[in-house]
Amino acid sequence: MSKSREFMVFSLASAFSAAALTLWQTLLPLYLDNLEFAAWQIGVGVSLTLNLSFLLAFPAGYLVDRIGWKRSALFALLLSLAAPLVLIFVTSFEEFLLVPVLAGLSSALFTQSSVKVLVRSGTRRRGLLYSSYILLSNIGRIVASYASGFIALLFSYQVLYACSAFSVIPALLLLTRSFKESSVVEESARVSAWKVMKMYLKDTRLKILVLTLFLHDFAVFVATPYLALYAKYIIGVDEVGVSLLSGTSSFTQMFFQLGSGWLADKIGGSLTLAMHFIGISAIYVAYSQVTSFLVALALYAAMGLIVTLDLPARRLLITKYAPEEYVGAINGFADSIVGVGTMLSAALGGYLWSISPSLPILAGGLLNLSTLPFIFYLKYRKIRLKAEEKGEHALEIGTVKYRGS
């Protein structure tokens, strides 16, 4: 199987997996609210579901580097099939905690596999290629987001979760078929966890990038678990309304994802991330004051555009900084550190929600601005390094000319 076809097979399988996860994750805050979970339990539960993949990213990246992306993706699909089936039988917060573990490990394996496949592609336009992968995943998310509210309202949450599990089957068939067609055995790397740690500690660029992303994800996930609850209690929408908001964001992402990948290749990952940080802050601050569904819909559409700037820029920077044989583990290590921030923010968001529903969203938007000095410093370092290299090159040319005379 050619590397371009390999990337396409992975992207299609990822699209089905994304649809399966989105079917049950879109309305998860409302479902947990129906189960009469406390506000802090909803915040922690949703944060774990969306972000445990970050904490599991390092072992997932290590596993991908050891056993290859195909086996990792197959295992991820089996986990994403199991998660909604377990959710059907959940009656308490303690029972629910298994669901984020299944979904988190599945997402972590897919994310780290995507970085591995991206590097294996050998292309220099990695931002654009990664955006094409995200585009296919977003198509799956769009269909699932719009469908989730109608399925839950017309039938039940249990039917919704069964549909989610069945959505994984086409991806399983696609991936297992690719195993049979491929004549190339994927090599396993001898990855040293200690070497990954040393590479990270020695690279100032990686440390600055990870600190920036830590602050960003901490700020964003103070607010994220409460966006749907805010729509329910303040804006006054039901399951269909929440699914329309989420689907509109995914729909906008589909239109702008390739353009954002091109932009990251054009202006660099640092500036692209800076645009993302500023945009997210502005949208969250505005959303915290909204009471109209149409205004909320417009903000979700804008959010879809801004979100497309994030992942291509992150992966572009990581794949530039890390060697191919360690890219999965290093990317996973970085994601794991970032994931710690998202876990810490859940408790803060729950506390702020108990004071006022708008507070976690407003605070998330304002805290996110703390990322800007660091991301601009990362860009400054790159410009300074280029200037120094040009100066050294000019000095070498002058020395050669002097000797020649």
Q: Spell out the domain ranges in the chain.
A: 3-182+194-404
For residues 362 and 234, the answer to whether their CB atoms sit within 8 Å is: no
Quick count: other Cβ atoms within 10 Å of Cβ 259?
Answer: 14
Span 344-391, pLDDT tens digits: 787 888 899 999 999 999 999 999 999 999 999 988 887 887 776 666
Contacting residues for 292 by C-beta, under 8 A, at least 6 apart = 235
Q: Comparing C-alpha atoms, which of 276, 281, 214 is closest to residue 57? A: 214
pLDDT level of residue 325 (50, 70, 90 thresholds): low
The angle, 0 to 180 degrees and rounded to 10, between the axes of the packed helices 310-321 and 239-267 is 40
The least confident of 94-103, 290-299, 329-338 is: 329-338
Q: What is the pLDDT of residues 148-179, one digit of tens each?
A: 999 998 999 999 999 999 999 998 988 888 76
CA distances to 65, 249, 330 from 306, rounded to whole Å, are: 31, 10, 26
| Residue of 86, 272, 72 whose CA lies nearest to 186 | 72
Label residue 120 by pLDDT band (50, 70, 90): low
pLDDT confidence of residue 230: 95
> How far, in Å, are 222, 271, 277, 338 from residue 366 at the CA level?
11, 19, 10, 18
- pTM of the predicted protein model: 0.73
Question: Which of 47, 15, 107 is closest to 349 using CA atoms?
Answer: 47
Q: What is the pLDDT of residue 160?
A: 95
pLDDT at 179: 66
Closest CA relative to residue 307, chosen from 154, 56, 90, 137? 137
Of the pLDDT bands very low, low, confident and very high (cuts 50, 70, 90), residue 85 is very high
Q: Which CATH number is associated with domain 3-182+194-404? A: 1.20.1250.20
Report how far apart, in Å, the C-alpha atoms of 67 and of each of 75, 111, 327, 328 are: 11, 15, 14, 11
Name the more confident of 284 and 116: 284
- Greater model confidence, 318 or 31: 31
Residues 358, 229 contacting (CB under 8 angstroms)? no
Backbone dihedral angles phi then psi of residue 325, each to the nearest 5 degrees: -70, -15
- Quick one: pLDDT band at residue 181, thresholds 50, 70, 90? low
Q: What is the pLDDT of residue 379?
A: 86
Percent of the chain with pLDDT over 70: 85
Q: Around 89, how many Cα atoms within 13 Å sit in the side-chain half-sphere? A: 6
Backbone phi, psi, residue 212, to 5°:
-60, -45
Tell me how far CA of residue 404 lies from CA of 249, 392, 395, 398, 400, in angstroms: 63, 18, 14, 10, 6
**Listed ranges 279-283, 316-320, 349-353; the one with the highest mean pLDDT:** 279-283
User: What confidence tens digit (pLDDT) does each residue in 183-215 have?
Assistant: 444 555 555 667 777 777 777 888 888 899 999
Tokens at 36, concatenated = 């009469």
The predicted model gives 101-121 an average pLDDT of 81
272 has pLDDT over 70: yes
Is residue 69 within 8 A of residue 10, CB to CB? The reply is: yes
Structure tokens at 106: 């599945």
Distance CA(387)–CA(13), nearest Å, equals 44
Tell me the H-state helices in 89-223: 93-96, 98-120, 126-154, 157-166, 169-181, 193-202, 204-223
Average pLDDT of the segment spanning 327-334: 73
Say what the pLDDT of residue 397 is.
Answer: 53
DSSP state for residue 160 in the 8-state scheme? H
Q: State how far the Cα of 367 lies from the Cα of 346, in Å rounded to an integer.
A: 14
What mean pLDDT, rounded, does the chain reach? 84
What integer pLDDT is reported at residue 381 of this predicted model? 83
Over residues 25-40, the mean pLDDT reads 90
In the chain, the largest separation of any two C-alpha atoms, in whole Å, equals 87
- Residue 12 confidence class, pLDDT cut points 50, 70, 90: confident
Q: Which two tokens stand for residue 31?
A: 């479902």
Mean pLDDT score, 232-236: 94
Pick from 183, 173, 203, 158: nearest CA to 327: 203
Between residues 382 and 31, the one the model is more confident about: 31
For 245-270, what is each residue's pLDDT tens digit? 988 998 898 888 788 888 888 888 88
- Give residue 298's pLDDT: 96
- Which pair of tokens denotes residue 367? 């805290």
